[in-house]
Amino acid sequence: MIGGSLASGVHGVLRGTMDVDLVADIRETQVADFAARLSGEFYADADMMREALCAGRAFNVIHLGSSYKFDIFPPSRDPYQQMQFRRRAVREIALGGVRLAVPVASAEDALLVNLVWYRAGGEVSERQWNDVRGIVAALGAILDRAYLEQWAAYLKVRICWPLPCAVGSAADASAS
């Protein structure tokens, strides 16, 4: 599943990025074959991948021709991240001049994840905030409010209407 800024751009306003965030269920037993298939076109260190997967961390591969970095995250047991993965939908995107049909995080999940990163960064990142605003501008009327409110509380970010005034903690939400 594609997440991060690319998912935000699919649902809102695309911005330049040199990395792609992916959630992929790659098993340790599949690493050697995965790295071998990527060799020649990608920098892909099988040992680094194995170590990261054993520790439950992300690893990356880099496309040599374009310098695109792909950050590959293993699936998480976190209830929100499990829900986010279940809600992914296949969308058509252009990447490096190629059109691909790929699973992408939902608009609501892209918005929520940007709020989490915005909050974690001290609520000063123009990138995350502009990603939120772009999604709201493109899809605000059709976003699933109940879903956003439910998971915002879980993620300890605040959603207020009309968006995008969604900042602060879940405790702040009860005061408004």
Q: What is the pTM of this model?
A: 0.84
Domain ranges of the chain: 2-104, 110-175
Which two tokens mark 143? 């976003």
Q: Please tell me the number of Cα atoms within 13 Å of 4 on its side-chain side.
A: 17
Query: How crowded is residue 36: how many other Cβ atoms within 10 Å of its Cβ?
Result: 11
In tens digits, the chain (176 residues) has pLDDT values of 999 988 999 999 887 777 899 999 999 999 999 999 999 999 999 999 999 999 999 999 999 998 889 999 999 999 999 999 999 999 998 877 889 999 999 999 999 999 998 988 888 888 888 999 999 999 988 999 999 999 999 999 988 777 666 544 444 444 33
pLDDT of residue 29: 95
- For residue 49, is it left (φ>0), alpha (ψ between -120 and 50) or beta? alpha
Cα 118 to Cα 113, 114, 128, 168: the distances in Å are 8, 6, 6, 10
Which two tokens mark 73? 């995250």
Which two tokens mark 24? 């992929």
